[in-house]
Structure 1
Amino acid sequence: MNSTAERIAREVLADRYPEALAAVLAGSSAIGGDTTTSDVDLMLLLPGHAAHRDTLRRRERVVEVFAHTEESFRTFVERETAARRSPTLHMWATGRLLLDRDGVGTELQVEASARFAAGPPPLAKRETDNIRYRITDLLDDLAGTPTPGEAVFVAARLLTETAELALAHHGRWLGTGKWLWRRLRSAEPALAQELVVAFQDVANQGPDRLLAAVHTVLSRVGGPLREGYRR
């Protein structure tokens, strides 16, 4: 396969990063679903460079370059894993290897695939209580919000918090934007759809459906938390 995104990635690699040890075309350009407006995500392993991110434009496409050394790769992965959100692991694990000097790219892909498949660490009780309290506070805000405009903004925060709680409860990786939706849809399709429909109802129909959906998720980890909570 030699897509436009791959040709762009190879051009950028040859022109700007000839010293690269390994390169992976990542994101939707590698796994499918990219469009003419999709970014071209390029993961690099460079010798002796500080980790950095470059944003370029090539052939009218935005190219996002994520450059690491082996040391910075593992530092980023450890930090992201602790937050249960590791785009670095995901992009290396699912990307298409374009360059592999001395087999180091293959080694990193194997490591990334194993670690991503293992999933994030489980929620500790203190973390669960913090999330329960935040969601409970948002539920109270939404139930008592007098205007549709306020309700939509509270609901948007509640939607994200609830989706993240559901994923963490399932032992799944978190995501942002479209990746939060994709991962929730993969883990629990019915809940993902219900949250979206309930959120869309907030402005015109009111918050009742979203309140009910959130309470369902919250009940899995002990329900609402107000009095007795200590930070």
Structure 2
Amino acid sequence: MSNRDGYRGPVVLSDDFEGYSKHEFRLSPRYAKFIESILVTRGMVQDRIEKLALDVVEKMECRGVNSLTIICILKGASKFGADLFQQLEMAAFSKGRNMTFHMDFIVANTYVNDKVGHETHLRVCSDPGKFRNRALLVVEDLVDTGTTMHKLVAYLKSLSPRYVEVAALLVKRRPDCPSFQPDYIGFEVPNRFIVGYAIDYNDHFREIPHICAVNDEGKKHFAVKE
């Protein structure tokens, strides 16, 4: 998948990719025994975000857009959103472009333990009326079933923005679910339960710097009663 704007699709982790040994990288002793493997290291995440930022800025140039509002989905995308925001500013500066970037937030939640719930709850953290005629980039940590993204993008489009695009750090391959294809994807990953880099499991594992797969012991240990 490629286009003239520079974005060439995600980095794909195959289904038979077992990941890197957790013993080869720094992990908190609190979580180490609950991690199955490391799928994406912190360094790989940062390099990929830098490239995504360049792709976004290049597409803004093609469209004649000088201002972009980043809508970060809390809490999981908080770190991705902050790092992407910084890299967008750096990319625009390196190209000598006078571009401005703004950050806004939406709270969304569908998960209970390791399952995706039937209802998606959205809460905008500021006046949604200000999105009218604005270029919007939704920033999501992980697209799983696509339920949240379908609902959120439809809602944002109803506010009459200039356009709405989505950047996701991770997209799971889920042949059992209707697909949602973000405009920018960092990594396409196997269907495993993923944590780290601010992605949580019942508010645990957020502080791990890498993208990791949780083992069955970890799911059980940190599960909450429904």
TM superposition score normalised by structure 1: 0.29
TM superposition score normalised by structure 2: 0.29
Greater gyration radius: 1
Q: Considering Cα pairs closer than 8 Å and 6+ residues apart, tell me whether 1 or 2 has the greater RCO.
A: 2
